[in-house]
Structure 1
Amino acid sequence: MSGKPLDGKTAWIPGGGSGLGAASAEALARAGARVVLSGRRRDALERVAARIIADGGAAEALPLDVLDRPAIAAAAAATGPVDILVYCSGMNVPDRALERLDGADWERIIGVNLNGAAHCVQSVLPGMRARGGGTVIVISSWAGQRMERVAGGAYSASKHALPALCETINIEEAPHGIRATCLMPAEAATDVLDSRPNPPPAEARARMLQPCDIGDMVAFVASAPARVCVNRIVMSPLANAFYAEG
């Protein structure tokens, strides 16, 4: 026996093809989990899966558009029993000020960041209840606990709703052994930064949280004893640009 903490567990990671999702998948696989990576881009998912397999882990690519609710249910069924759900899908748009935000962009941001999370959670809860336990980790944002101009209204609204979703899971599902964590990182050096009106330069990104920092935290939460519920984690780099702005 390898003695890895997540041996025998399956983790499903919508948004696993890049950024925080890919880092979370890699960390969970190192901890022994079989990881199933979902997202719209098959090529990106397969690259992450190949890295994990080359490192001795178990990974599969399962393409999915989280705006398609029937497809979410089908992907959950194809994954099989899910012990750990890590919802990492998220998006924003460059032109995000409320006075200019296109209505279709608003709906797409809310759809990916919030509705997709809720639908993925609903798709795995019955199986978790039947097996008597499970872990849900939802990636929110620093913008989910305080308002920041740079985030924009739609992104902030969606990310503020995710802690409520996680606490609802804890209130309703704790008797079934299911726990939820809302992970709220400040600036992290991922491709999402490229959607800002003024993307930060490389030297600024080097001072931010790195994807592996969030991935390691996800694996820590998932590996905690079943009696432990980590309700919320707020993370920031030591050089927190939001403090400087405030």
Structure 2
Amino acid sequence: MTDTTRPLAGRTAWVTGAASGIGEATALALATAGATVAITSRRADKLEALAARIRAAGGEAIAAAGDVTDLGRMEAIADELLERGTLDILVNNAGNNIPERSWGELTPETIDLLLDANLRGTLQVSRLVLPMMQAGGGGVLIHIGSWAAHFISTGPGPIYTAAKSGVVAMSHTINLEHGVHGIRSCVLSPGDVHTPLMDKRPMKMSDEAKRKMLQPEDIAGLVLHVATLPAHVCVNEIIVGPTYR
């Protein structure tokens, strides 16, 4: 009999950018639902602390520090997960932005930084897991996109906007090519979420404004919903925002 309190029991999930914000909340939600969760971030100390929290609550966690822009490290993590069995869920959450984001402030280095963190890393990790999921008979990829990809404005900056738009297009192509293999891909594009990334905005935000934003746990709940849908259901996109504008 299926344990409805642990719908992901026996499944393995990989969450990138898991040290804080949406990634941290998502890792906790998936572990509570029964998944073994591999967590990746550049900050090894925060990863170990999160893994300890998951284990203390009775869950299973694999802390695998690494930067998604480091392809060799991502390949090593994928190989480790493959040795443990199949991978069922990927949450591509890693991303970044900078205060100096307007055209007049961008440099070749910061353009590469933003493309690597927000698009290239997502592409490469997706490429690594697709054969694993196909061999295992299916899986779910959930990419944290952005409101910026759907409602163009100057605020997020041109490179972040272009990168997140690329993530949306990438996800749809996964469904077109790999849906026949039982693989489903979803872009979850939130508006303002109260995460550490908000502190990188050019203009400092008030505490009141942050309280009105979506919270990481809100997005984690949507990730969990998509991850636990029946195998014949594919949610291509979710666009979600706070009630204020």
Query: TM > 0.5 between the two?
Result: yes
**Matched residues in 2 for 1:193 and 1:218: separation?**
21
Match of 2:46 in 1: 44
Q: What is aligned with 1:217?
A: 222
Say whether the 8 Å CA contact 2:26–2:220 is kept in structure 1. yes
CA-CA distance at 1:208 after TM superposition: 0.3
Matched to 1:155, the amino acid is Y
1:109 partner letter: L
How many positions carry a matched residue from both structures?
Answer: 240
CA distance, structure 2, for counterparts of residue 67 and residue 107 of structure 1: 10
Alignment of 1:15-26 (within 5 A): 15-26=17-28
Among 39, 44, 64, the alignment partner of 1:62 is 64
User: Residue type matched to 2:59 in 1?
Assistant: G
Q: Tell me the secondary structure at the aligned position of residue 138 of structure 1.
A: strand
Alignment partners' CA distance in 2, 1:112 and 1:72? 13
Which residue of the partner structure matches residue 205 of structure 2?
Answer: 200
* Aligned residue among 181, 185, 205 for 1:180: 185
- AA in 2 matched with 1:34: T
Cα separation, 1, equivalents of 2:53 and 2:3? 20
Q: Identity percentage over the alignment?
A: 42
1:162 is displaced (CA, Å) by: 0.8
DSSP 3-state at the match of 1:194: helix
Q: CA deviation at 1:6?
A: 0.6
Instruction: Structure 2: state its 5+ residue gaps.
Output: none
Structure 1: 5+ residue stretches without partners = 241-246
Instruction: Find runs of 4+ consecutive structure 1 residues off by over 3 angstroms.
Output: none
* SS of aligned partner of 2:164: helix
TM-score of the two chains, using structure 2 as the length reference: 0.95
1:116 is matched with which residue?
Answer: 121
How many angstroms apart in 2 are the aligned matches of 1:194 and 1:82?
33
In the TM superposition, residue 184 of structure 1 has moved relative to its aligned partner by 0.1
1:7 is matched with: 9
Q: Which amino acid aligns with 2:48?
A: E
On the 8 A contact 2:148/2:164 being kept in 1, the answer is: yes
CA distance in 1, matches of 2:195, 2:22: 7
The Cα shift of 1:79 comes to 2.1
Who is 1:244 aligned against?
Answer: none
Distance 1:126 1:67 in 2: 20
Q: 2:99 aligns with which of 66, 85, 94?
A: 94
SS of aligned partner of 1:100: coil
Task: Using the TM superposition, give the Cα deviation of residue 78 of structure 1 relative to its aligned residue in structure 2, in angstroms.
Answer: 1.2
